[in-house]
């Protein structure tokens, strides 16, 4: 199975900050990568798919980049509702796998 590793595991930031989260795959996955946001007690919400495509309805302050093994999710200007846990997911190889999550906390 492809292993997905996110860094950092947690990050503290303030409203208005720019935040970048990285995800590394144990082998090349092209651009078959998605990012999800999950709030406590809720289902994950798709933000980005195919590494850089913004899901309909997701604010443009979210962006994704990368290909192969290294990917990033950037939030350009943090809003109060963005404090949550973020997961990456590869869909290049069976079975699909997720990163361990990055918890974004208020500083």
Residues at the contact surface with other proteins, assessed by CB under 8 A: 32, 34, 36, 42-46, 49-50, 55, 87, 89, 91-101
Q: Closer CB to other proteins, residue 13 or residue 96?
A: 96
Least CB distance to other proteins at residue 6 (A) = 9
Q: Closer CB to other proteins, residue 78 or residue 89?
A: 89
Question: What is the dihedral sign for C-alpha 42, 25, 23, 35?
Answer: negative
Give the count of alpha carbons within 13 A of 37, CB side only: 17
Report the distance separating Cα 57 and Cα 18, nearest Å: 20
Q: Closer CB to other proteins, residue 18 or residue 39?
A: 39
Nearest Cα neighbor of 20 from 58, 83, 74, 62 is 74
Kindly list the distances between the CA atom of residue 29 and the CA atoms of 9, 46, 64, 82, 107, in Å, as whole numbers in the listed order: 22, 18, 15, 27, 34
Least CB distance to other proteins at residue 48 (A) = 9
Least CB distance to other proteins at residue 96 (A) = 5
Least CB distance to other proteins at residue 55 (A) = 7
């Amino acid at each position: 199975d492809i292993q997905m590793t996110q860094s950092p595991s947690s990050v503290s930031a303030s409203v208005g900050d720019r935040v970048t989260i990285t995800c590394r795959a144990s082998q090349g996955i092209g651009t078959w990568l998605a990012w999800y946001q999950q709030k406590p007690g809720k289902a994950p919400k798709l933000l980005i798919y195919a590494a850089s495509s913004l899901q309909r309805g997701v604010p443009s302050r979210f962006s994704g980049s990368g290909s192969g093994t290294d990917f990033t999710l950037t939030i350009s200007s943090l809003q109060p509702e963005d404090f949550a846990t973020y997961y990456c997911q590869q869909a290049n190889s069976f079975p699909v796998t997720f990163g361990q999550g990055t918890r974004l906390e208020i500083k």
